[in-house]
Structure 1
Amino acid sequence: MGDTLKKIRLIRKTSKTFLGISALLMLVSTVALYFYLRNLLQSEVEEELRSTEARIESSLVENPEPFQLSPVVEIQKVSRLGNEVLKDTIIYDPSQDEMEEFRELSTFSAINGENYRITVRALVVESENILIAVVISYLVIILLVFLFLFYVNRSKNQKLWTPFFHNLEQMKRFSLSSDAPIALMDSEILEFSELNTEIKLLTNKVRSDYRNLKQYTEDVSHEMQTPLAIIQAKIENMINIEEPLDDQQFEQLTSIQRDIQRLSQMTKRLTLLTKIENNQFANVEQLDITRLMAVTVQDFCEISNNAIKVDFEYPIKVDMDPYLATVLCNNLVSNAIKYNIAQQDIVVGSTVDDISISNAGTTPLKHPDSLYNRFYRESDGVKATGLGLAIVKRICDLYGFGIDYRFSGDRHVFTIHFGKK
């Protein structure tokens, strides 16, 4: 079985998606803006350099004497013409009394029969400052817009999904045993409206099927009891007639009688299981489960040859249906008696939150994980319905109790944990 996916709320998921996409777009757009403005400013600087160079050439036509305006303009006579050079350089700026970065354009021109190298420079720092200022301004504006859109989007999403979350809570509270219609919130969203319609149809159908199945189960259970009771009575009459039965007839009738009792008991237990799984036991009271177990042990001691020792250290209070508490105790003690060997003692004890019951055994169970399945029996040696422990497990699940089995010291030990699992 694969790893369980980590669950996340819908609003948080959509918000994380919005955040991720927005952050990516902000990063990409900022980088793109930075390089675009950088190239644009660099182009403007180069255009300014060429414009300055053209004006200097015009000035040299009228006045051929070289001049300098360090570090912005340098004009030198050269012996021959060279290639144009455009580059970044760092030179000393007397006005700032420090080294500064410049964009430098060096060209060669022949003017009035003389060869000149004309070098013009533009300060790069100013353009970089402009670039950084523009990018920061852009980031601030985008961030503010992003925050505004994020909270507006989140608020709108919460409002938009409110009917869905409300209806989800109603579905969580939905109960088959209640006849109250499910209260769904209407929505202007078409898909939500269609979902509401399907939910109403589904819940009505489930309730109808549940009522039909419940009625069917109760009817079958009730109707089976009557013919079983009649058959049982007829068998008893046959056994008790004046004409004596031979051993074979008596044994067959007794076997039929046991099977009828087992069938009747199975029907009642299946009905009980169905009621437990349908949560039809809503009468919850605070009970002393140790006291109830002691009464149950006393009752079984009157009809059983097994010796049952009781050792309760602490009383345990639980909140549960009294009838189910009685069934829980009866099934645990009955199971221990059925599978006890050599008439050894059965021991029932308690700690702060646990009750344990153990009976003697020779070997541990082969399939302990199947103990609580319906109709499961470890062996056919004991004629039981295979429903006792299944009922115990369903009762524990209903109230959040824990149950475990272990084999220790040649004894089968069942422990019910009444504390928080």
Structure 2
Amino acid sequence: MSLSSIALYFYLRNILEVEIEEQLYSTAARIESSLEAGKNPYSLPPAVEVATSNKSLPDILKDTLIYDPSQDEIELFRELSSFKKINNINYKITVRDLVVESENILMAIIISYLLIIITVFVVLYYFNKVGNSYLWKPFFNTLEQIKEFSLSTKEPVALSISNIREFSELNTQVKILTDKVRGDYNNLKQFTEDVSHELQTPLAIMQVKIESVINDAPLSNQQYDQLTSIQKDIKRVTQMNKGLTLLTKIENNQFINPKQVSLTSIVEGNIANFKEIFQQDIQFVNENELLVTMDYHLAEILCNNLISNAIKHHIGSGDIVIEITKEHLSVCNKGEKPILHADRIFNRFYKENESVKSTGLGLAIAKKICDMYNFKLTYTFEKGFHIFLVQFS
């Protein structure tokens, strides 16, 4: 449209020039006819000038500048000089026409055209925006429903009805997909819960029977050691089953009751419980009360796993140091060397030292909990201490 306005400008200017030239030739022809009729030549400077001439030249068409006393300015004229021999007398007929008015007309047309372009652009933009907003409304509604889709809820996806075939097909496929995903999720969840529940009962029965055998029957040292080892393995399998079930629940976002909890109080309770079981001294540095928003049960598991991990892997003398500030929780235990594969320490079942009997799920669970609430759990080794730091800010 911009290029067309430029083309229109030159096209109209050419048309106006042709019209002015036609008018000049017409006026010159009238003067010739008057002279041929024997009338006295007349002049009306600067529009018309008739004078005798001893030259005979072809017509001369050009632009010229002439001072206009009425406007007190120089005006642009189109000039036609015609040399004619009439009644055996050579005449020079000069006809001029003002060009300024034609330029004004030209600019008025161009400005009007540009205004029309701008008006059309604004109107089309508005109607396109409103039309597209209405046209794409079902699509964005479907997109919003997909964003809000959750496996933990039983409510179906509320998709709007659309008369547009493509959006209608999209809604149909989205509904089929979400129903299938929710069905698969519920089946997997039910299977996991059933397996976990069914495992707990035989493991508990085995534990009771072994305890009964140990307590009632006379056993040799070898039998006692074997039964004790089996008892520990059963306990480990039970803990592993609970840990995997907990990880599954965390990954499926089944903990949806966050509230403000005091990690300071939870850590103090854990320290008191561990001191009754283990002999290591625990130094608690409490600078500020640490309040976070999360599920209370997961907060207990997070603190318990970090502290129990420090106790299990503590080497040599010295205290286990637990520090709480307004923005972080750190748990430090003595160690001989840094962990060889620190990048794998939060993986499931990864154990740096096989001599320590553990499920290998404690730190993986702690990492999952931190990821769930966008906390940052990191490991470093400084000055002979393994340091696990949870940043809450």
Q: Distance in 2 between matches of 1:367 and 1:349?
A: 25
Q: Distance in 1 between matches of 2:18 and 2:70?
A: 25
Q: Distance in 1 between matches of 2:139 and 2:303?
A: 44
Q: How does 1:216-255 map to 2 (within 5 A)?
A: 216-229=191-204, 232=207, 242-246=218-222
* RMSD between aligned residues: 2.9
Report the Cα offset of residue 195 of structure 1: 1.5
* Cα shift readout 1:29-49 (whole Å, capped 9, x = no counterpart): 433333332232223222222
The equivalent position to 2:315 in structure 1, one of 319, 329, 341, is: 341
Report the Cα offset of residue 208 of structure 1: 0.2
Give the structure 2 partner of residue 202 of structure 1. Answer: 177
Unaligned runs of 5+ in 1: 1-24
Q: Distance in 1 between matches of 2:202 and 2:154?
A: 34
Mapped contact 1:75–1:117 kept (Cα < 8 A)? yes
Moved more, 206-215 or 53-62: 53-62
Mapped contact 1:239–1:245 kept (Cα < 8 A)? no
The equivalent position to 2:25 in structure 1, one of 50, 66, 71, is: 50
Give the structure 2 partner of residue 164 of structure 1. Answer: 139
Report the residue type matching 2:267 in the other structure. M
CA distance 1:217–1:88, shift in 2 (3 Å): farther
* Cα shift readout 1:357-403 (whole Å, capped 9, x = no counterpart): 22233444455444433334455564543322222222123233333
Give the structure 2 partner of residue 282 of structure 1. Answer: 256
Identity of aligned residues (%): 55
CA distance 1:67–1:97, shift in 2 (3 Å): farther
Q: Distance in 1 between matches of 2:293 and 2:389?
A: 18
TM-score for both structures, normalised by structure 1:
0.82
* Cα shift readout 1:38-62 (whole Å, capped 9, x = no counterpart): 2322232222222223223323323
Query: Is 1:70 aligned with 2:38?
Result: no
Unaligned runs of 5+ in 2: none
Moved more, 297-306 or 372-381: 372-381
* Cα shift readout 1:288-321 (whole Å, capped 9, x = no counterpart): 1110111112212222232211111221222322
Mapped contact 1:307–1:343 kept (Cα < 8 A)? no
Q: How does 1:67-106 map to 2 (within 5 A)?
A: 67-106=42-81
Mapped contact 1:363–1:410 kept (Cα < 8 A)? yes
Report the Cα offset of residue 232 of structure 1: 5.0
Give the structure 2 partner of residue 297 of structure 1. Answer: 271
Report the Cα offset of residue 331 of structure 1: 1.1
The structure with more radius of gyration: 2
Give 3-state SS (helix, strand or coil) of 1:416's partner.
strand
Q: Distance in 1 between matches of 2:53 and 2:342?
A: 103
CA distance 1:391–1:50, shift in 2 (3 Å): farther
Report the Cα offset of residue 132 of structure 1: 1.6
Report the residue type matching 2:252 in the other structure. N
CA distance 1:70–1:238, shift in 2 (3 Å): farther
Mapped contact 1:269–1:387 kept (Cα < 8 A)? yes
Q: How does 1:11-410 map to 2 (within 5 A)?
A: 25=1, 27-63=2-38, 67-229=42-204, 232=207, 242-246=218-222, 257-365=231-339, 367-378=341-352, 380=354, 382-410=356-384
Give 3-state SS (helix, strand or coil) of 2:142's partner.
helix
Mapped contact 1:76–1:116 kept (Cα < 8 A)? yes
Q: Distance in 1 between matches of 2:348 and 2:381?
A: 21
Report the residue type matching 1:403 in the other structure. L
Q: Distance in 2 between matches of 1:98 and 1:285?
A: 85
Moved more, 174-183 or 407-416: 407-416
CA distance 1:302–1:85, shift in 2 (3 Å): farther
Q: Distance in 1 between matches of 2:356 and 2:88?
A: 127
Report the Cα offset of residue 215 of structure 1: 0.9
Q: Distance in 1 between matches of 2:354 and 2:44?
A: 114
Mapped contact 1:356–1:413 kept (Cα < 8 A)? yes
Q: Distance in 1 between matches of 2:14 and 2:225?
A: 108
